[in-house]
Structure 1
Amino acid sequence: MALAVTMAACGSSSSDSGPAVEPGDPSLTGSPIKLMVIAQLTATNQAETPQTVSAAKASASAINARGGIGGRPLQILSCDDKVDANAAAACARKAVSDGAVATVGQVSAMGAAINPVLQQNGMANIGPYPLSASDFSSPSSFPLCAGGPAAIAGVARNLGTNGAETVGLAYFGNAAGATSVPFVTTGLAGTGAKAGPKVPVPPGTADLAPVAAATTKGADAAVLALQPDDAVHFVQVARQSGNTAKLGMPAQDPGLFKKLGGAGDGLYVATQFAPQSSSVPGIKQFLADMEKYARGTRLDDYALNAWLGVQAFEKMLAQQKPATIDTATVKAGMSRLVNLDLGGVVAPYTTTKESEMPGLNRIFGPQVQLGTIKNGQIVTDGKWVNPFLPASGG
């Protein structure tokens, strides 16, 4: 049921081309602990996500600089899914054959090919950015955020609790994009607002002015569940035409709001991670690690998620204290987490009970933060809200 609705996924395998061990304390002499990032690394469009590997390596480098894992260094492997199910499955098999104890920070729409291989080999998929139904349901999957469903429901919740009466939806015009429709209704529950027009938008539509008009016909607000560049274009043409409807979109790439300039001010957003402008400890550490070890990397949600996946691995070991570190103990440890503190980047993370939402049972962290855009930055009150619950209980 729940597929990617804010990104077109892209990306035989290629192994890590970086150093054998991520930079860190030279006194780390134990055998490396290997983690693999599976992502779309050689896509030919904007969906290429090499920042995931850079961010995971930066995270590992910072851990190694602090002494590694019990004196052992972390090593980040990477593999390109090439937007191909066979290549993605090969990546999962490579994670096994190369001795990785888990995968981390995955950005791939090929979860249906990856997760069964990991499950068969008892390996955890830590922090996949959920882009396929398998990522939301596989016993191997431990997403740290709730992906498109929570983002779309969160934007609708934000609009509904801020005066909107009828909320339209412009969504990515394919079968995956259509899955955003029920999440708008879910997000509006308890707000008093109702769902309005639902307009599919083929990717790369040159003229979005008619789309903006159709989405807000009879509606005073709209959720934009579109490719990021199309969402930016929608906002621009809507404002240029004098359309005053309240507009909202997932906050996935902070850089997009700077592109909008003044046209972006007042946008309603939902973010699955604490804003990068916030002062929570995890965000401060993320930015410092990226500046030191991966300067120039694109700092979007995919990068933050990959960095956080490596941090979650370290913190899981500290909480669970397994006697050995292998695929079995890592997966078991990930299954027993209770209120794991990830530095405020996400809400405290518990995995001992699955979600009761059909098809979304592996959502352990459904919460989002709601906010607006001001001077190109995401501004929230720092509170976590569950948009899958009615507004009175969210």
Structure 2
Amino acid sequence: MTGTRRTRPSLPVSTRPGRDTASRTRPRARSLALSAGALAACASLVAGCGVVPGTAGGSGDDPVVVMTWAPEKTDANNEPGMPGMAEAYARWVNSRGGINGRELKVLTCNERNDSVAAARCAQRAVDEQAVAVVGSYSQHGRASLSPLAAEGIPYIGGYGVTDDEFTSPTSYPVNGGQPALLAGLGEQLSRTCGPVVLVRPDTIVGDEMPVLLDAGLRTGKHPGAADELAAEDGTSYQDQTQRALRRATSDPGRKGCVVPSLGDRTDTFMDSFRRERDGYPAVRTAAVLGSIEQSLIDASGGKSGPYEGSYVTGWYPEASDKRWNTMNKVIREHAFGDNRVDPADPGVQTTWIAYTVLKAVVEKLGDGEVSAHTVRQTLNNGLKVTTGGLTPPLSWRYDDLVAVGGYPRLINVNVTFQVVREGRLVAARQEFVSVRKTLESAL
């Protein structure tokens, strides 16, 4: 159900200048009489009366309207699986009678990796009176989140790629975002790699990467990574590959590691890397999930490809873990062959977890009003959401906020360590690893 949009209250009649008592009283009496008449009409003709906007959620008859946005068909990062997963989730819950009998209506929007388009998606969510934006991706946090915050619409389970997702008071993240991934990868590499070279986009988001990776590397007394900048939408990375390989082999006594963190363009970089690495057999690769996934490993040759032996850090258990069984079943039965929805994609996984949170909120509200305000209030009041072990229990009370550095909305600082063995992405450690101390030292 939708939330009531707040309007600026008018000046009380009794305080307006130039009005006498009689002129103040007559309109008020007439207004009360009209209200009484309207109520009487509703009492006798219930079926013919409308419901005040923002309050119909209590009836359970109106759909719960939410939005999921992500960039699709752009020259840079794309996350089409996130709206695809949202649509499949809605088909699944609606086939089971909805959430507490309420239909889930999912709106999707192409954010296009563009600040203007991101703002338009957010404005559409406002105009459609969505009760939340769920499981979405945008590199333009300010453009997309500001319109939501102005209307009090919660942003549940963003991908975690911008600072705004961890600072906006109406944002409810489910993972540690890019900060946790890079800090965790640094920890994973700190004791196994010699020289480390980070190949990252020359963007504002990319500028934060070296600081976070180095914080993790320092936990093992590593001197830090060399920083190699690249175009976010490049079509060839031969020059960056050659420089990265030279830097990674600058210490002949230790095996170096190259860390490509270019999102969708990581496979483009690896095409160059595969051709150039023959003269550098000792160099290994490492990445965060989102830059490397099982589908990319398969497409690049599996166990005979360049990712064999790569270290990978993620937010969640590996895709083959049985804790994903329910999501996998939903994808099989309700994605209807939608090839956008890859169960190993961390964006798809994040959207699944975000909708798990939304479902828990609506169930908690029971027969009560479902609006942006009540969804936000339920989350703020300490609802604890369990995700079947895919994350620690999630809660956004003040006491649950980790509040590391400039990330006051951060609640989940756990990551998973994975490695590519025999062409498969598998767990390097079975348990979650907290990077809270590493982030505290970096931010």
3-state DSSP class of the match of 2:109? strand
CA offset digits 1:218-237 (Å, max 9, x no partner): 35333332232245336524
- Residue 329 of structure 1: how far off its partner (Å): 0.9
Instruction: Provide the C-alpha distance between the structure 1 equivalents of 2:242 and 2:379, rounded to a whole number of angstroms.
Output: 47
Instruction: Provide the C-alpha distance between the structure 2 equivalents of 1:368 and 1:331, rounded to a whole number of angstroms.
Output: 26
Q: Is the contact made by 2:228 and 2:244 (CA closer than 8 Å) also made in structure 1?
A: no
Match status 1:297 vs 2:340:
yes
3-state DSSP class of the match of 2:67? strand
User: 2:203 maps to what in 1?
Assistant: 174
User: 1:20 maps to what in 2?
Assistant: none
User: 2:51 maps to what in 1?
Assistant: none
Amino acid in structure 2 at the alignment position of 1:255: S
Q: Is the contact made by 1:212 and 1:234 (CA closer than 8 Å) also made in structure 2?
A: no
Instruction: Provide the C-alpha distance between the structure 2 equivalents of 1:321 and 1:258, rounded to a whole number of angstroms.
Output: 45
Instruction: Provide the C-alpha distance between the structure 2 equivalents of 1:101 and 1:239, rounded to a whole number of angstroms.
Output: 51
Match status 1:279 vs 2:327:
no
Match status 1:211 vs 2:252:
no
- Of residues 46, 52, 75, the one that matches 2:105 is 75
- Of residues 266, 280, 283, the one that matches 1:245 is 283
- Of residues 335, 348, 364, the one that matches 2:411 is 364
Amino acid in structure 2 at the alignment position of 1:170: V
Match status 1:37 vs 2:68:
yes
* Superposed counterparts of 1:14-33, under 5 Å: 30-33=61-64
3-state DSSP class of the match of 2:414? coil
* Superposed counterparts of 1:1-394, under 5 Å: 30-41=61-72, 43-45=73-75, 47-161=77-191, 163-203=192-232, 204=234, 205-207=236-238, 208-218=240-250, 220-227=256-263, 228-233=266-271, 235-237=273-275, 239-252=277-290, 253-260=293-300, 261=302, 262=304, 263-280=306-323, 283-294=324-335, 295=337, 296-299=339-342, 300-318=345-363, 323-337=368-382, 339-353=384-398, 354-380=401-427, 381-390=429-438
Instruction: Provide the C-alpha distance between the structure 2 equivalents of 1:230 and 1:153, rounded to a whole number of angstroms.
Output: 24
Q: Is the contact made by 1:60 and 1:310 (CA closer than 8 Å) also made in structure 2?
A: no
3-state DSSP class of the match of 1:368? strand
Q: State TM-score, norm by structure 2.
A: 0.75
Instruction: Provide the C-alpha distance between the structure 1 equivalents of 2:353 and 2:132, rounded to a whole number of angstroms.
Output: 14
- Residue 326 of structure 1: how far off its partner (Å): 0.8
CA offset digits 1:12-32 (Å, max 9, x no partner): xxxxxxxxxxxxxxxxx8321
Instruction: Provide the C-alpha distance between the structure 2 equivalents of 1:184 and 1:114, rounded to a whole number of angstroms.
Output: 27
Q: Is the contact made by 2:135 and 2:350 (CA closer than 8 Å) also made in structure 1?
A: yes
Larger radius of gyration: 2
Amino acid in structure 1 at the alignment position of 2:433: V
CA offset digits 1:108-158 (Å, max 9, x no partner): 222211211111111100111123221221111112122222222221111
3-state DSSP class of the match of 2:87? helix
Q: Is the contact made by 2:70 and 2:82 (CA closer than 8 Å) also made in structure 1?
A: yes
CA offset digits 1:178-210 (Å, max 9, x no partner): 210111121123323331422222342341431
3-state DSSP class of the match of 2:224? strand
- Residue 170 of structure 1: how far off its partner (Å): 2.2
Change (3 A) 1:243 1:338: farther
3-state DSSP class of the match of 2:330? helix
Which range moved further: 295-304 or 179-188? 295-304
Report the aligned-residue RMSD: 2.6
- Residue 278 of structure 1: how far off its partner (Å): 0.9
Amino acid in structure 2 at the alignment position of 1:93: Q
Instruction: Provide the C-alpha distance between the structure 1 equivalents of 2:320 and 2:102, rounded to a whole number of angstroms.
Output: 33
Instruction: Provide the C-alpha distance between the structure 2 equivalents of 1:259 and 1:78, rounded to a whole number of angstroms.
Output: 29
Change (3 A) 1:171 1:71: same
- Residue 267 of structure 1: how far off its partner (Å): 0.5
Q: State TM-score, norm by structure 1.
A: 0.83
Stretches of structure 2 that go unaligned for 5 or more consecutive residues are 1-59
Larger % of helix: which? 2
Q: Is the contact made by 2:331 and 2:341 (CA closer than 8 Å) also made in structure 1?
A: no
Instruction: Provide the C-alpha distance between the structure 1 equivalents of 2:168 and 2:155, rounded to a whole number of angstroms.
Output: 9
Amino acid in structure 2 at the alignment position of 1:199: E
Q: Is the contact made by 2:420 and 2:426 (CA closer than 8 Å) also made in structure 1?
A: yes
Stretches of structure 1 that go unaligned for 5 or more consecutive residues are 1-28
3-state DSSP class of the match of 1:247? strand
